[in-house]
Structure 1
Amino acid sequence: MKIQMRNLTLLLFVLLSSQLTSVFSWKKDEFRNCNQTPFCKRARNRNPGFCTLEAHDVSISAGELTAKLSPKKSHQDNPDQQDEDQVKPLILSLSVFQDGIVRLKIDEDPKLDPPKKRFEVPEVILPEFLNKKIWLQRHSTETIGGDNSPSSIVYVADGYEAVLRHDPFEVYVREKGGNRVVSLNSHGLFDFEQLRVKKEGDDWEERFKGHTDTRPYGPQSISFDVSFYGSDFVYGIPEHASSLALKPTKGPGVEESEPYRLFNLDVFEYIHDSPFGLYGSIPFMISHGKYRGTSGFFWLNAAEMQIDVLGSGWNADSGISLPSSQSRIDTLWMSEAGIVDAFFFVGPKPKDVVRQYTTVTGTPAMPQLFAAGYHQCRWNYRDEEDVENVDSKFDEHDIPYDVLWLDIEHTDGKKYFTWDPVLFPHPEEMQRKLAAKGRHMVTIVDPHIKRDESFHLHKEATQKGYYVKDASGNDYDGWCWPGSSSYPDMLNEEIRSWWADKFSFGNYVGSTPSLYIWNDMNEPSVFNGPEVTMPRDALHEGGVEHRELHNAYGYYFHMASTEGLLKRGDGKDRPFVLSRALFAGSQRHGAIWTGDNTADWDHLRVSVPMILTLGLTGISFAGADVGGFFGNPEPGLWVRWYQLGAFYPFFRGHAHQDTKRREPWLFGERNTELVRDAIHMRYMLLPYFYTLFREANVSGVPVIRPLWMEFPSDEATFSNDEAFMVGSSLLVQGVYTERAKHVSVYLPGKESWYDLRTGEVFKGGKTHKLEVSEESVPAFQRAGTIIPRKDRFRRSSTQMTNDPYTLVIALNSTQEAEGELYVDDGKSFEFAKGAYIHRRFTFSDGLLTSISIPPTSPGKARFSSECIIERIILIGYSVKPKTALIEPSNQKVEIELGPLLVKPRGGSAVTTVRKPNIPIAGDWTIKIL
């Protein structure tokens, strides 16, 4: 019997190892391409004018414009359409919301008794957004061109209106009576495959790599074209390791390419410069052009999606004519399932579109202050002694950090919410030691639950029926790190609540208030599943097929984990949960990182457009594994990554278990010094970063931004993704080649820029070829801005709480500047009740003024701080002052000349007001005399 068991164990190990091999390296043939994906292949092969639908029975109902879509009678025998008895009228509704947002829904008519209700993605749209609906009372009509019937027109916002064109069917938003902004089905590529009941002889199964998808309701895909007018480039639709400006994937002169794929997958060692889908999906695209400005389109759909960016001339032979007075970018959107639930955003400025989108899906959560610091991670820190040693080495080398992370090996047999009793026997004491220094710990909790009858979590989930089911209705059993595993059905609100309860201190034994959470593998990753994920015909609550919600599974898991930390702390402290999988709305629940990158220069380079794209689509709190997850970086790459990563919103060093140890002191004394300086730069700028996190929390505007977001009419910025803005005041240029001696930096705008370290001045509106030093990557402060800093270095951000501030004032050509500082308690939700300090600083005519910015939602809570400003630095001041007068205290303080951070290579020293010691919370002025 023992021999049989041993042989069985060996067989299982061999089977698992064979599956892991496919996960441990990029194997292109393990994943489907468009030609192997029938719905994508069908949609891509359709010609313009394919759609024969026309709108009729148009009316206003419940404050919305409604209509039916049916094929024209002359086209009902089209052989490319579904069987005639299956082509039933579709129901269209068009609604308008405040701030220039249009929503279009198209679905099967429930009165015609479809086989089941098609899936609509829940818990993404904010409930409060629905209250912003403009109640339409009427619509006007207009005959467009040579149309046979009039079109219906409704008000959207001042200067904008939405048009439902009846025949041919089309929906678009335009400037009132004028130029179009965004349109759907202008090229007649719309198709909606309706659910069917299987008849004898129907073969709907799809097979790939030994896996069979039963497809019980037949093909149910949707596709349509979307056009952006006045557009020079389009951006968005993460997550892909590709350029910020999306490249054409189809059309004349375009090298044969795959569409951009949105299908959450665990892609080990992903390649850069690829449209292939990765860990997350946000079907939101932004268009930008010099003359029209910015617009956006969002399709709320969690099924697999493929999107083509169509090159110029792709439709030259179509015979379809569109308004030619505007530049235009056409795109083709294809999804396997779901409904049309689409949103048009009129802009017209970049920040307007981001604000409009986050009005629908939510602004980013406000993180705790510690989460904005540096995080140290590895797969895996071996035991408690290893943790203590790493922690002490940071102190020994005078390197601040805030969070130490533990990967899966810390658990007892890869069972989550447990600790290895030998390696981590005293988890609470371990966490308390870190907390004594103001530091925190993060542990990993993934969605695959080990199928072990002795594991209480599995036993309970099985008894309650909480697992996702396979197509036969049994608990789905897939392989992941623990071996045989099952996955909670996170679509179910009851199951999410049950999962959230597992984070309580009573249930998660060994956890403390300073412990936070990391959700990995939540695409979901299934080593022996089709394309390393869950089968599409697996079943969720209410008979929803996994194909319909796949891209949102990790989102619901992230949501449940975040709710768990809220419950754990009775809603007092802000949670921190990092997730790998993402979907629209993920920004409300925590941070995101770009997954398992590689230690090479190309991956350092592509990290910038990946993080920028996430920011454009709502997810501000994002970063990439500093140093690269796979492989062993050579010292030059490792240092450059820290110097750039110090400006990522989420700043974490991480590495695979097979790599050499690479803590910041292991590359020699000089490299340790360089990395220490990079991390110190991050901590010095924490007040500025925290202020930007609050801006994102209020407005949706990302922490780091493409240059064109701040300089929307400067065409030289539109495709630049080697540099980025941190807020509106800093520009950072990465160094992406080994042993680089020079780098070209484009500094936009008419005003000057100042080197962040030396204060050296550079002219705006031109490209500068700069010598590159090993000390830092090029970074510049924009003239006309004021940045708050903290210049004293501590062990962690929490130990900096009471430290004084420095204001760095970079003056423009009129000797003016402005900036902001936001401060709260750094951890609780009291800020939502008005408990914070928010100051605006302005400098003009030699006078620095501090005024309070009133709370956006005044409440009774209050926050006070005894912190002071101990130094004011002026860069580019045209006179040499002697003293400064502080009012209302009528106090004079000294002024001196000196370096900014390091001695400049050229130019004059900066002007420093020493020890004004004025409160950050007070109203005051300082006159430079």
Structure 2
Amino acid sequence: MEAESSPVISVVPDDEQNQKFKKSKNVAFYRRQIQGPNKQHRALLDTMVLTERGARFELLETDSQSRLLLSVWPCKNDTVRILIDELQPIKARYRVPDVITEEPQREQLRVERQSKDSVTLTWSSGRHRVRVWRSPFRLEILCEDEVTVTFNSKGKLWFETLRDPTRATSQGSKLQEEHTSLLWKETFRQFVDIKANGPSSVGLDLCFHGFSHVYGLPEHADGLQLRDTRDGEPYRLYNLDVFAYELYSRLGLYGSVPLLVAHKPDTTLGVFCLNASETFVNVHYSPSEHQDDQTPPVKRRRTQPQTDVHWLSESGVIDCAVLLGPDPQQLFSQYAQLTGYQALPPLFSLGYHQCRWNYIDEADVKAVDAGFDRHDIPYDVIWLDIEHTDGKRYFTWDPALFPEPANLQRHLEEKKRKLVVISDPHIKVDPDWSLYCEARDGGHFVKQREGQIYQGSCWPGESSYLDFSSPDTRAWYSRCFHLDKYKGSTPSLFVWNDMNEPSVFGGPEQTMPKDVVHYGGWEHRELHNLYGFYQHMATAEGLITRSGGSERPFVLSRSFFAGSQRFGAVWTGDNVASWEYLKISIPMLLSLSVAGVAFCGADVGGFFRDPEPELLVRWYQAAALQPFFRGHSANMTKRREPWLFGEEVTAAIRTVIQQRYSLLPYWYTLFHQAHTCGLPPLRPLWVEFQREQSTFTVDHQYMIGGALLACPVTERGVEEVRVLLPGSGEVWYDVHSAKAYKGGGTLSLPVTLDTVPVFQRGGSVVCRAAGSCSCAADVQQLPLSITVALNSQGAADGELYLDDGHSFSYRDRKAFCHRRFNMLSGRLLCRPAGEEGMFECDTVVQSVSVLGVKRKPSSVVVHVSEAKDTSAAFQYVDTCCVLTVSNLNLRVTMDWEIHITG
């Protein structure tokens, strides 16, 4: 949440937001790069050095004669890393640490072809090549002799070298001195930013040949496909606290992931530019003339699309990883190998969360908890916002409102439910508070340029801000979550990091000044976008060490960066109760998913203002089909528990929450895939239908894994929606009616308030929990119902992943169960999905429904290994071609088969 320093919030008008936050024209380094002439660079090919770590070249900037060092190295997972730094800087430039989890094994480069104008390098796979051109410098990445990506195609390489401040104005005219001083100081509104190292921005441009669709670069309140920026502002990556953010805007919001994904029917590529300073990205779509040297001269030129992308960052180095795919699944894996896989969440965190700023006291929390039971609505977590603390001091409890917090948690834990509390990065300046004194005396706060502790205003009033970039500070902060340190906490308490962009009331753009100083002497400008990432890291580590390393944490963070997926979940921040915000939440979550942040969601119903009942129902329906599922609202809104809007609304919300819980086995399996393969549970249609251009711009519907297609209703009062069912030759089954539809076209579907358009893809198998529950822990005790949706060949397959749902035993002791279901020629097989994994559980398959069975079978026989075959009872509904085999009681950990004959 964001406000001035008062708990009274009002929506910030667009014109006021425009004044509070910068446009690109207000940013000096952006103006210099856009308005200045292109700097000409030449690759000095005779300086090339080949080692086992790649190739190195010197680059010469022709006007200034400054020299840069270009390093290029390919990796065995089909990625190419490009790094440019000063050859001999006066001091080290900032290189982002802690985001790259492990360097993929490098390939050995060799020279394939060399001339005075270029050198072509290749490596063992032989499929890809790198070609470096001398003058003007450019670097091409080729696939099968076709140029796919060109680095510096437009000559926009820009690298402002660091300068000694004592010599910056020692020579030259007064006019030159005044100009130089402006470069070392920048003013926005009343704020003055002093640059300790002078101008230090970097820029690069890339051309994606043959591509006309690019995605990624979250977080923006915009569509899934990135728009051409010639019609307005560039995409900005700068983490900001923007309350009630403007829609269809390229202003940076709470988090930044500098990953751009380009897709065309036969190829998916990505570029990850590792830079944590303020960054702008321009996207230009255009046709180009492509030259193919393998064709006769008369046919040499042909027109094809291309996308040019220009990155501009305030500081740091140029560090790019080009992810060569060539399909979306491989690209997601390549990116996860670089920045880490999505953490496997504890099962309870995939259930429904109930939050409000603020539940008043312990009695209020217990009453809301009881309300879910009374109305037969399952949920798993109730949340407390800032008012639960003693005077906005984190790690404390208001003694009057929450006098027995441990007992409250035990009350919830008896029902297998959890409590989440907020912990922000600002610490109240209070010399009488021991935690503040510890942080101050331990040197854990960010400092001003002159060396004193930086102070800004946030919820507690005057506050100091923890320097999470310091390993010592992160370790200290992590210890604050230990049970003996955090009085009133128990193992069932989990954490929410808010305001960690960081938000500073009254600060420049409502955040921290860029010239404050962090660990290692680095200015905030170098690592601004990492601030929330580091708090998220420290919090997750704190919860892990609290348990002695045995239990998985759950931490929600508003601010994030590449790699934040390793620590938990994120959400889209302070949205508004309107149909437009419901609609924009879908492409926002798809953009996060494409960029590796798979555990994401949006506040159900809108954080600010009061939703009308229809909007609330539609938002629950959409959010129940998204990864992180939380209802949340501001303290000046009307109470919004699901049973406060009349029985019709309560029944509709109850239904979709119950359906969410029935699908938890499927969601958990999808998160296992994200954790091991990098595949996001939420997927744009083009991820599954890579060659169908009709899917490339669709962002109002999506795939949940590879099996389910969802098209939430996001408009008021509609009686019909149009759903694209992709895939000519595909079969799609309405999950509610089991009616089959052919793919390759658009379906007009009548809807009522109870309708949630979801279709199961032919050829898939989905496992659901069968029966009622009050929370996720109950789901683990329920039998399974399997839905087999046959494709046009009568085949289907799917997976199920199970473990204890909360510990690291799946990792440390391989205590998990991973099963695969295959249906072919009337035989459904349950077999191990891999060689690893041993998990004893009593989960059984109670029933199997097969969709698309053309005629009633004569018999259904069940075969269990080392047991006698038995006949099974079944029902066949010919109006929708559904066969249901019931009363099976087959243990999911055993091998078995179901034979359908006749």
TM band (smaller chain): over 0.9
> What is the identity, as a one-letter code, of the residue corresponding to 2:535?
F
Counterparts of 1:228-627 in structure 2 under 5 Å? 228-250=208-230, 255=231, 257-290=232-265, 292-312=266-286, 326-627=304-605
Q: 2:766 aligns with which of 777, 787, 793?
A: 787
CA contact (8 A) 1:55 1:169 kept: no
How far apart, in 1, do the equivalents of 2:10 and 2:471 lie? 36
> What is the identity, as a one-letter code, of the residue corresponding to 1:224?
L
The corresponding residue for 2:35 is 45
How far apart, in 2, do the equivalents of 1:327 and 1:595 lie? 36
User: What's the CA shift for 1:156?
Assistant: 7.0
Secondary structure in structure 2 of the residue aligned to 1:382:
coil
Counterparts of 1:139-178 in structure 2 under 5 Å? 139-143=111-115, 149-155=117-123, 157-176=125-144, 178=145
- Sort the Cα spacing of 1:621 and 1:15 in 2 relative to 1 into closer, same or farther, 3 A: closer
CA contact (8 A) 2:854 2:881 kept: no
CA contact (8 A) 1:840 1:851 kept: yes
Counterparts of 1:753-768 in structure 2 under 5 Å? 753-768=732-747
Counterparts of 1:614-653 in structure 2 under 5 Å? 614-653=592-631
> What is the identity, as a one-letter code, of the residue corresponding to 2:768?
R
The corresponding residue for 2:888 is 916
User: What's the CA shift for 1:723?
Assistant: 0.4
How far apart, in 2, do the equivalents of 1:638 and 1:827 lie? 31
- Sort the Cα spacing of 1:23 and 1:53 in 2 relative to 1 into closer, same or farther, 3 A: farther
How far apart, in 2, do the equivalents of 1:18 and 1:305 lie? 32
> What is the identity, as a one-letter code, of the residue corresponding to 1:692?
L
1:545-589 CA distance string (max 9 Å, x none): 100000011101100000000110011010000001010000001
CA contact (8 A) 2:764 2:796 kept: yes
The corresponding residue for 2:846 is 870
User: What's the CA shift for 1:835?
Assistant: 1.1
Q: Does 1:211 pair with 2:191?
A: yes
**Structure 2 unaligned regions, length at least 5:** 170-176, 291-299
The corresponding residue for 2:151 is 184
How far apart, in 2, do the equivalents of 1:427 and 1:17 lie? 26
How far apart, in 2, do the equivalents of 1:721 and 1:627 lie? 20
How far apart, in 1, do the equivalents of 2:416 and 2:77 lie? 43
- Sort the Cα spacing of 1:22 and 1:536 in 2 relative to 1 into closer, same or farther, 3 A: farther
The TM-score normalised by the length of structure 2 is 0.94
CA contact (8 A) 1:51 1:191 kept: no
CA contact (8 A) 2:287 2:304 kept: no
CA contact (8 A) 1:684 1:791 kept: yes
How far apart, in 2, do the equivalents of 1:266 and 1:67 lie? 41
How far apart, in 1, do the equivalents of 2:365 and 2:126 lie? 59
How far apart, in 2, do the equivalents of 1:593 and 1:724 lie? 18
CA contact (8 A) 1:438 1:798 kept: yes
How far apart, in 2, do the equivalents of 1:910 and 1:637 lie? 34
How far apart, in 2, do the equivalents of 1:213 and 1:157 lie? 49
The corresponding residue for 1:30 is 20
Answer with 588-597 or 20-29: which moved more.
20-29
Answer with 159-168 or 539-548: which moved more.
159-168
User: What's the CA shift for 1:53?
Assistant: 3.4
Secondary structure in structure 2 of the residue aligned to 1:358:
helix
Q: 2:668 aligns with which of 687, 690, 693?
A: 690
User: What's the CA shift for 1:844?
Assistant: 1.2
Q: Does 1:797 pair with 2:776?
A: yes
- Sort the Cα spacing of 1:313 and 1:228 in 2 relative to 1 into closer, same or farther, 3 A: closer
Secondary structure in structure 1 of the residue aligned to 2:777:
helix
% same residue: 43
1:842-885 CA distance string (max 9 Å, x none): 11111110110125xx47xx311111111111111112024321
* Alignment size in residue pairs: 870
The corresponding residue for 1:752 is 731
How far apart, in 1, do the equivalents of 2:502 and 2:560 lie? 11
User: What's the CA shift for 1:837?
Assistant: 0.8
User: What's the CA shift for 1:164?
Assistant: 2.1
**Structure 1 unaligned regions, length at least 5:** 1-13, 77-83, 317-321, 900-906
The corresponding residue for 1:656 is 634
CA contact (8 A) 2:665 2:800 kept: yes
1:525-559 CA distance string (max 9 Å, x none): 00121000000011011110100000011101100
1:242-288 CA distance string (max 9 Å, x none): 010111001xxxx3x00000000000110111111000001100000
Secondary structure in structure 1 of the residue aligned to 2:800:
strand
Q: Does 1:852 pair with 2:832?
A: yes
How far apart, in 2, do the equivalents of 1:759 and 1:541 lie? 59
- Sort the Cα spacing of 1:22 and 1:119 in 2 relative to 1 into closer, same or farther, 3 A: farther
> What is the identity, as a one-letter code, of the residue corresponding to 2:817?
I
Secondary structure in structure 1 of the residue aligned to 2:873:
strand
The corresponding residue for 1:319 is none
CA contact (8 A) 1:839 1:852 kept: yes
Secondary structure in structure 1 of the residue aligned to 2:702:
strand
CA contact (8 A) 2:380 2:418 kept: yes
How far apart, in 2, do the equivalents of 1:690 and 1:276 lie? 34
Let me know the Cα RMSD of the aligned residues: 2.0
- Sort the Cα spacing of 1:303 and 1:368 in 2 relative to 1 into closer, same or farther, 3 A: same
Secondary structure in structure 1 of the residue aligned to 2:703:
strand
The corresponding residue for 1:813 is 792
Q: Does 1:668 pair with 2:646?
A: yes
- Sort the Cα spacing of 1:451 and 1:821 in 2 relative to 1 into closer, same or farther, 3 A: same
User: What's the CA shift for 1:167?
Assistant: 1.9
- Sort the Cα spacing of 1:644 and 1:380 in 2 relative to 1 into closer, same or farther, 3 A: same
User: What's the CA shift for 1:18?
Assistant: 12
1:878-927 CA distance string (max 9 Å, x none): 1202432111331111001359xxxxxxx426211011111100111111
- Sort the Cα spacing of 1:768 and 1:494 in 2 relative to 1 into closer, same or farther, 3 A: same
User: What's the CA shift for 1:471?
Assistant: 1.4
Q: Does 1:770 pair with 2:746?
A: no
- Sort the Cα spacing of 1:495 and 1:338 in 2 relative to 1 into closer, same or farther, 3 A: same
> What is the identity, as a one-letter code, of the residue corresponding to 1:669?
E
CA contact (8 A) 1:99 1:356 kept: yes
CA contact (8 A) 1:181 1:228 kept: yes
CA contact (8 A) 2:447 2:518 kept: yes
User: What's the CA shift for 1:312?
Assistant: 2.2
